[in-house]
């Protein structure tokens, strides 16, 4: 038996572009046979200018983190132990329009990074990697993205399953192979629609902690899910 983990998912209301709430997400992922979800809500200036919640951009940093973390706590509560929920992040800085997936992240790190999305990419990368987390570029060949120096990355997302975007996954795969980067797959879930559960990874054991997730991603001991839940 293989165990399915989603590596790229957004929930409402924290991700302004998310349209599904925790109860709906948990039910849908259970129905699609997943055992673990890594919640990677957007963390950027747009997170705090949310039409549903109003303009939160003037909040002190710690209150911004409280708001951001509530998405994780709500999803974990909705899961009720029926599916594993891990904390991750999709960061967009004020430097460019790139998106970066951070795995292994913890709340304490986020609370002390008071200038997180104003930092140059090289400094963000250094801070994340020095803390022992993984720093990957999400959908790097989508329109308006710029591929950064591979030396700043641990990996890239080579399969992004968002049906609304052309992520040019074939180019991302070639890039990962060329530079020896960790290659990942994620659905980039925003709402329950056809094709929303296209990505993730398969492992021999369920992933139940961020420490285990980091170990598995670094070891390469997983299969990628691509194209409607079929491992390739």
**CATH classification of the domain holding 33:** 3.20.20.140
| Total count of domains within the chain | 1
3-state helix, strand, coil split of the chain in percent (to 5) is 35, 25, 45
How far is it, in rounded angstroms, from Cα 28 to Cα 197? 9
- Element holding 200 (H helix, E strand): strand 200-203
DSSP for 156-185, written as a single string = EEEEE--TTS---HHHHHHHHHHHT-EEEE
Sign of the dihedral through C-alpha 128, 129, 132, 133? positive
- The residue segments making up the domain with residue 168 are 3-231
User: 94-103, 187-196, 217-226: which has the minimum mean pLDDT?
Assistant: 187-196
Residue-level pLDDT at 99:
96
Report percent pLDDT > 70 for the chain.
96
How far is it, in rounded angstroms, from Cα 186 to Cα 37? 10
Res. 230: pLDDT tops 60? no
Residue-level pLDDT at 152:
97
Residue-level pLDDT at 232:
40
Mean pLDDT of the 163-168 span: 87
Res. 205: pLDDT tops 60? yes
- Element holding 61 (H helix, E strand): helix 61-79
Strands 200-203 and 3-6: antiparallel
* C-alpha R_g of the chain: 16
Q: Rounded to two decimals, what is the model's pTM?
A: 0.94
Mean residue pLDDT of the chain comes to: 92
- In this predicted model, what pLDDT tens digit does every residue of 66-123 receive, in sequence order? 999 999 999 999 999 999 999 999 999 888 889 999 999 999 999 999 988 899 999 9
Could you tell me the pLDDT band of residue 229, with boundaries at 50, 70 and 90? very low
């Amino acid at each position: 038996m293989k165990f399915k983990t989603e590596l790229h998912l957004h929930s409402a209301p924290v991700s302004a572009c998310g349209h599904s709430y925790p109860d709906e997400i948990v039910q849908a992922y259970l129905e699609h046979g997943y055992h673990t979800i890594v919640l990677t809500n957007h963390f950027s200036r747009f997170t705090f200018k949310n039409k549903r919640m109003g303009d939160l951009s003037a909040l002190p940093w710690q209150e911004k983190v409280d708001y951001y973390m509530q998405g994780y706590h709500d999803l974990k509560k909705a899961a009720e132990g029926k599916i594993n929920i891990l904390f991750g992040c999709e960061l967009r800085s004020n430097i460019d329009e790139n998106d970066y997936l951070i795995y292994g992240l913890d709340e304490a790190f986020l609370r002390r990074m008071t200038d997180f999305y104003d930092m140059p990419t090289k400094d963000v990368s250094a801070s994340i990697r020095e803390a022992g987390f993984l720093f990957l570029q999400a959908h790097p060949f989508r329109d308006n993205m710029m591929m950064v120096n591979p030396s700043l990355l641990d990996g890239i997302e080579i399969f992004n399953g968002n049906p609304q975007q052309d992520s040019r996954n074939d180019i991302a795969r070639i890039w990962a192979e060329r530079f020896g980067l960790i290659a990942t797959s994620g659905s980039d879930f925003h709402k329950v629609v056809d094709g929303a559960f296209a990505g993730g990874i398969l492992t021999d054991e369920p992933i139940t902690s961020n420490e285990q997730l980091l170990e598995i991603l670094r070891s390469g001991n997983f299969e990628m899910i691509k194209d409607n839940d079929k491992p390739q």
